[in-house]
Structure 1
Amino acid sequence: MVYKSIRKLLFRMNAEQAHTMTIRGLQILQSTPSARNLIQKRFTVIDERLQSTVCGLHFPNPVGLAAGFDKHANVYNGIAAFGFGFVEVGTLTPRPQTGNPKPRLFRLVKDEAIINRMGFNNHGLEDAKHSFQTLAKPNIPIGINLGKNKDTPNEQASSDYRHGLMTLYDYADYFVLNVSSPNTEGLRDLQHVDALQKLLTSVLSTRDELLKETSSYRPVFLKIAPDLTWEQMTDIIKTAIGASIDGIIATNTTISRENLHSSPYVNESGGLSGKPLTQKSTEFIRQIYPLTAGKIPIIGVGGIFNGMDAYEKICAGASLIQVYTSMIYEGPSIARKINTELLSILEEKGVHSLNDLVGSKTS
């Protein structure tokens, strides 16, 4: 109820201005321990039926915040207070970059969707490293989403991803290789089998070297696009499994504009997220799960607004899920809402744990 009033004010602003204001609020929150603790008690749902262990990491609940919100890795502590089971920061690139020209973020209110063409705007690895060294780490997994700089040729892309891995290895619980954003020209070409094989071999061998040096294992996930054909997706998953990837994140934003009603932004270029992606991303997960034989986890992303959306993705094969756009429309209580509704679904269906549902409806 409170957020509905706040949302009216935020939605009167330019979308990026509203995001900047929200980030400032989170910075204030995480610098005020008493307020942060109060928020955490109010928003966190604690129940063993929601817990899981994925890639050796403990997740108190399955609802994470996707990359793209905490672009600079400087408010993850504040975000964690709102009951998320994990937070993914970035996308981070080796060198700072300003991203694409403004305006580059658009609300499609009638569709409960967002189009963004931000272009990996971030302060770079060294600034993020400083944040990790100074901010307290919350008691949930923190993922780091890595990308390449816009001016790095694809032939040299692996050096950017390896640089990110080596610079921030001590601070992540897991890493994500983002080769699927539509907002950096040519980036999605890294999903082509030959390029992907080269990239994964290079990055994962670097991770194995860091494992030997530190005695700490950091899982590496691959984030894929929802605009792939069945054949392309199958080739990508087989290539990733062959390279010993730890998991898949499905999916990134889409360039499709099917069945949209909002104007005037419907024809803006960029990646679309939100409710129009709900079924598409769920179907992708359902197709990917059999290819993995359930042996590597899937993080499901795309149009998750409530417990039933999360339930459908988990049944399709997702071990964990992530939200972003729904937080913009529903507010910061989104993790609490989804977790509470998931518990009700478990009660209704007589299921002991969410883990029992993973991949239970793949046909």
Structure 2
Amino acid sequence: MVSTHTTLGGFSFDNCLMNAAGVWCMTKEELAGVKDSAAGTFVTKTATLDYRAGNPEPRYQNVPLGSINSMGLPNQGLAYYLDYLLELQETEPERTFVLSLVGMSPDETHTILKQVEASDFKGLTELNLSCPNVPGKPQIAYDFETTEAILHEVFTYFTKPLGIKLPPYFDIVHFDQAAAIFNQFPLAFVNCVNSIGNGLYIEDEQVVIKPKNGFGGIGGEYIKPTALANVHAFYQRLKPEIQIVGTGGVLTGRDAFEHILCGASMVQIGTTLQKEGLSAFERITNELKAIMKEKGYESLDDFRGKLRYIED
């Protein structure tokens, strides 16, 4: 019997597929849609302490091989998502969901995490380190000194299962340096990757999104090779108790299979979910199961991380 059951952070999920933060997760209604689909769970929109309207429209655009966006962290605020998750713990206590969050400053990040720590929330928390934080500074996870300082302080008070959402890295030495930092901490998972930052897409001599004069994060087919590289690089480098969530370029069951082959325990779907809707979960799950059946794999453990290399 072929199964896509998986575990993450000590929790079990019937299916390894879920949404990526930013897609089908802004409202309770959207989250309920993912919850009731073929997905194994959902992750909320990355929450800041207070409501944010985000960047001016148009800020997202589907393009032939993916998408480009500069959303500006629009969200309903931490309390909105946390209250909904606490409601679900009462009505569906057998299921586990993921709360994504980040502060607009390191201090706000700690304020948010301390609120989650003090709450009755029993699921997984994802700290989004792939957001710009301070004007003139790079994304948090590209600033290794700041990343290490934030995580060091976080784990002085945060005791619940915590993972981090990462931007893509492009240099082997950066994989080494980042992994050396992450291995110092009791992280439940790392999520690889967020969109490739600051791409530019042009139609009729004009950019297609308004913020930042058209510069935005690239998702979809464009980024699968980069996402797979990050998944596998961290699978090779992180201590075994830090699991990998694979995100980027998942259009088909084959794409999900390759993320798992590279070491992912769960796989998130973003641009494809935005374009296709909730039916994408069932389609991709069925395609993944068909590949597993054809290859004689009954569980994800049969092939997770078992990417083959070309030997001399």
Note if contact 2:62-2:275 (Cα within 8 Å) is conserved in structure 1. Answer: no
CA-CA distance at 1:251 after TM superposition: 0.3
Aligned mates of 1:262, 1:276 — CA distance in 2: 17
> Match of 2:110?
159
Q: Superposition pairs for residues 320-339 of structure 1, below 5 Å?
A: 320-339=266-285
RMSD: 2.6
Aligned mates of 2:62, 2:142 — CA distance in 1: 28
Q: Superposition pairs for residues 1-363 of structure 1, below 5 Å?
A: 49-69=3-23, 70-73=25-28, 75-108=30-63, 110-111=64-65, 113-134=66-87, 136-137=91-92, 140-149=95-104, 152=105, 154=106, 156-166=107-117, 169-181=119-131, 185=135, 186=137, 188-208=139-159, 218-255=160-197, 257=199, 264-265=206-207, 268-361=214-307, 363=309
Aligned mates of 2:226, 2:202 — CA distance in 1: 17
Structure showing greater relative contact order (alpha-carbon pairs closer than 8 Å, 6 or more residues apart): 2
CA-CA distance at 1:101 after TM superposition: 2.2
Deviations 1:195-218 (A, max 9, x none): 11221122222222xxxxxxxxx3
- SS of 1:317's partner is coil
**Residues 172 and 301 of structure 1: is their aligned pair in 2 closer, same or farther, counting only changes over 3 Å?**
farther
What letter corresponds to residue 172 of structure 2 in structure 1?
Answer: W
**Residues 261 and 287 of structure 1: is their aligned pair in 2 closer, same or farther, counting only changes over 3 Å?**
farther
**Which sections of structure 2, spanning at least 5 residues, go unmatched?**
none
Aligned mates of 1:72, 1:163 — CA distance in 2: 23
Deviations 1:225-264 (A, max 9, x none): 1144322232122211112212110001112649x78665
Aligned mates of 1:235, 1:198 — CA distance in 2: 14
What letter corresponds to residue 219 of structure 1 in structure 2?
Answer: P
CA-CA distance at 1:132 after TM superposition: 3.3
**Which sections of structure 1, spanning at least 5 residues, go unmatched?**
1-46, 209-217
Aligned mates of 2:172, 2:112 — CA distance in 1: 27
**Residues 317 and 129 of structure 1: is their aligned pair in 2 closer, same or farther, counting only changes over 3 Å?**
closer
Aligned mates of 1:221, 1:323 — CA distance in 2: 17
Note if contact 1:144-1:176 (Cα within 8 Å) is conserved in structure 2. Answer: yes
**What percent of counterpart residues are identical?**
24
| Bigger fraction of residues in helix | 1
Give the length in aligned residue pairs: 300
Note if contact 1:72-1:124 (Cα within 8 Å) is conserved in structure 2. Answer: no
